Every structure is written in C-alpha cells, then in structure tokens.
Amino acid sequence: MSEKPGWKSLPEGDVVKAGTAAEFKTGDWRSERPVWFPERCIHCLFCWISCPDSSIIVKDQKMTGIDYDHCKGCGICAKECPVKPQKALEMKPERGEETCQK
C-alpha cells in the first residue's frame, strides 16, 4: 500500500484520464481465446464491429489479428463470424490441451 498515493494527491472526485485500460493487460483472466485462421477470413469485419473490447486489430480495412492483452475471451467474434463451413475465428481453451503424462 505504501507506494500508492495518499488522498491529498488524488484527482478531485475520482475523475481521471479516459482510456487508461490501454496501459494494462486486462485480458489475463481469459479462459478461452479466439484463434484466427487468416486463410478462411473474408474480412467482413463483423468481429471488429462486435468486439466489446476493441481487441480485433484492423489495418487498411483488413483483419490482421487479435489483441490478446485486452481480449477477455467472450467469444462474440467467433459467434458472429459468418464464414462457412468453417469459421475464421474459433474459441480454444486458453491453457492449450495438454493432458497428464503420468
């Protein structure tokens, strides 16, 4: 606690700069992660518009990847992906699929 600021130096009314989540890894409690398959992707950007955490990285109007520092693994992108028969985004367990080797 000692390194945290005291009440006299905090901003009045707890009003702080917006968008500070960018400075933190807010995705570290994800249990499942979306995995992107570029070869299937049609770049419709449904995932980008649906993502509640702005974690779909888009460059020049093309899907280019996922910001795993902030993705919380909600799965909306995979749900909304319209590509058939196999979706371009699939949810996979966060910790891989290792099994006990004993």
Partner 1 sequence: MSKIVAKTGNEAMAEAMRQINPDVVAAYPITPATEIVMIFAKYVADGLVDTNFVAVESEHSAMSACVGASAAGVRVMTGTSSQGLCLMYEILPIAAALRLPIVMCDVNRAISGPINIHCDHSDTMAARDFGWLQIFSENSQEAYDSLIQAIRIAEDPRVHLPTMVTTDGFIISHCLDKIEILDDKDVTAFIGQDRKANNRLLDLKNPTSVGLLDLQDYYFEHRVPVAQAMKDSKKVILEVADEFAKKFGRKYGLIEEYKLADAEVAIVALGSTCGTAKVVIDELRAKGVKAGMLKIRVFRPFPAEEIVKALSNVKALAVLDRSDTWSAQGGQVFTEIRSAFYEAAKKPKITNFIYGLGGREIDLPQLHTVFESLKNIDKQPVVQYLGVRE
40: three-class secondary structure by DSSP = coil
Nearer to partner 1, 29 or 98 (CB): 29
20 binds partner 1 (CB under 8 A): yes
Neighbours of 15 (CB within 10 A): 7
If phi over 0 gives left and psi between -120 and 50 gives alpha, with beta otherwise, what is residue 74? alpha
Give min distance, CB of 10 to partner 1, in A. Answer: 6
Least separation in angstroms between CB 20 and partner 1: 7
Q: Does 5 bind partner 1 (CB under 8 A)?
A: yes
> 92 has which bridge partners?
33
Tokens representing 47? 């995932």
23 binds partner 1 (CB under 8 A): no
Residues that bind partner 1 (CB under 8 A): 1, 4-8, 10, 12-20
